[in-house]
């Protein structure tokens, strides 16, 4: 890319074969992914996986050993100043001046970004209102709670109206209400067209908030895509729990024999439908029958209809698809560097 030339495209964040080594430690090793404009990308990995290093490179706070990254089409290597104008970075911890109030703190950074006059005044008013800190603008930062400090840090990252937001563990240490409010703010920013890369260990929130996720471990990207796509790629089964009012043992035995052939391998039956040499993955727990079910909702409906036709009194059916946390545990090994 020629310095200063903005390449057009839908992707607002792009990592191209990014490497970052610290001696023999491969903090980031050959990572490539992109985030479309207006999307929220969740960056997931254990501690020491390389998330913060990647985000620091994107934020022009570090340089890659090899490869490059682009923010709104500009290279972090060749055009760091142009990247910074388009980027808002919220680190996992940030420094403050204890005796400065919230409005003075935000005003300082607005001036640092070159905002002047009415533009700065209107921008400060919007940021205070959006982050819910307008009522605390005169309060010293040292008196703020953890949640309010996080809001202020988000406001600092927003004060120059960046196109791209990099948020490193923004929900760490927040109470449930503060996390819900932060999640709503992030989704609203995405709806306004901002592209957001966010790291978090609270995977249930990322699953609700993000358009796509990437799972990283030991500096390598193991999986990327929408949450549903990764779930489908990594897990083709779901747990099915059927509650029968009586004859649970008979129902379980019938399931082993009469399930569709395409489900035979997972459930432990043979291809011709005869009982296997060893019991399949069917567990009887009182009235409940639990088993790994490979098939879609139509297959599930056909299975329940068949059981009713066989005279079993079906009282309840539960279908549990593995969550993002389940997939994360399946993909990663808990390794650190």
Most confidently modeled range among 7-11, 254-258, 287-291: 287-291
Q: Return the structure tokens found at 211.
A: 């358009």
Domain count for the chain, please give it. Answer: 2
User: Which of 233, 258, 285 lies at the terminal end of a domain, its last residue?
Assistant: 233
The answer to whether position 16 is within a domain reads yes
**Measured between alpha carbons, how far is 90 from 196 in angstroms, rounded to an integer?**
11
Instruction: Note whether 87 and 218 are same-domain residues.
Output: yes
pLDDT for 108: 93
The answer to whether position 310 is within a domain reads yes
Assign residue 225 a region: left if phi > 0, alpha if psi is -120 to 50, beta otherwise? left
The answer to whether position 159 is within a domain reads yes
pLDDT tens figures, 109-144: 999 999 999 999 999 999 999 998 888 889 988 888
330 or 37, higher pLDDT: 37
What is the domain-level CATH number for residue 245?
Answer: 3.30.70
The answer to whether position 33 is within a domain reads yes
204 and 179 in contact (C-beta within 8 Å)?
no
The answer to whether position 329 is within a domain reads no
CA proximity to 225, closest of 66, 7, 4, 34 = 34
pLDDT for 255: 85
305: which residues sit within 8 A by CB, 6+ positions away?
Answer: none
Instruction: Note whether 111 and 161 are same-domain residues.
Output: yes
What is the domain-level CATH number for residue 218?
Answer: 3.40.50.300
User: Which of 181, 214, 233 lies at the terminal end of a domain, its last residue?
Assistant: 233
pLDDT for 2: 34
Cite the beta strand spans of 116-193 per DSSP E: 164-168
**Measured between alpha carbons, how far is 298 from 292 in angstroms, rounded to an integer?**
16
Most confidently modeled range among 4-18, 59-73, 178-192, 268-282: 59-73
Give the domain extent around 185.
Answer: 11-233
Strand order in the sheet with 195-199: 87-90, 164-168, 195-199, 40-44, 212-217, 220-225
Q: CA-CA distances (angstroms) from residue 11 to 33, 73, 74, 283, 303?
A: 10, 8, 11, 47, 44
pLDDT tens figures, 145-167: 888 888 899 999 999 999 999 99
Q: With a cut of 70, say whether residue 302 has pLDDT above it.
A: yes
Instruction: Note whether 17 and 114 are same-domain residues.
Output: yes
């Amino acid at each position: 890319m020629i310095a200063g030339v903005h390449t057009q495209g839908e992707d607002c964040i792009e990592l191209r074969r990014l490497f970052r080594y610290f001696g023999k430690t491969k903090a980031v090793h050959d990572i490539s992914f992109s985030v479309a404009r207006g999307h929220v990308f969740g960056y997931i990995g254990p501690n020491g996986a390389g998330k913060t290093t990647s985000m620091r490179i994107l934020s022009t706070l570090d340089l890659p050993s090899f490869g490059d990254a682009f923010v709104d089409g500009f290279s972090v290597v060749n055009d760091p100043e142009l990247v910074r104008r388009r980027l808002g970075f919220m680190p996992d911890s940030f420094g403050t001046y204890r005796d400065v109030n919230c409005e003075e703190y935000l005003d300082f950074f607005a001036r640092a970004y070159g905002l002047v006059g009415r533009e700065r005044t209107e921008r400060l008013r919007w940021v205070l209102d959006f982050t819910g800190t307008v009522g605390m603008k005169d309060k010293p930062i040292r008196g703020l709670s953890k949640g309010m400090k996080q809001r202020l840090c988000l406001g600092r990252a927003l004060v120059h109206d960046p196109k791209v937001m990099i948020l490193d563990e923004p929900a760490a240490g927040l109470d449930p209400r503060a996390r819900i409010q932060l999640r709503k703010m992030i989704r609203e920013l995405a709806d306004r067209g901002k592209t957001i890369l966010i790291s978090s260990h609270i995977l249930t929130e990322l699953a609700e908030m993000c358009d796509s996720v990437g799972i990283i471990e030991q500096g390598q990207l193991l999986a990327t895509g929408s949450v549903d796509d990764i779930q489908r790629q990594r897990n083709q089964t779901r747990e099915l729990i059927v509650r029968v009012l009586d004859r649970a043992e008979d129902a379980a035995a019938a399931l082993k024999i009469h399930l569709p052939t395409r489900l035979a391998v997972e459930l432990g039956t043979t291809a011709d439908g005869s009982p296997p040499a060893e019991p399949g993955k069917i567990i009887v727990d009182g009235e409940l029958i639990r088993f790994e079910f490979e098939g879609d909702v139509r297959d599930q409906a056909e299975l329940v209809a068949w059981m009713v036709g066989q005279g079993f009194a079906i009282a309840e059916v539960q279908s549990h698809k593995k969550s993002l946390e389940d997939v994360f545990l399946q993909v990663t090994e808990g390794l650190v560097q």
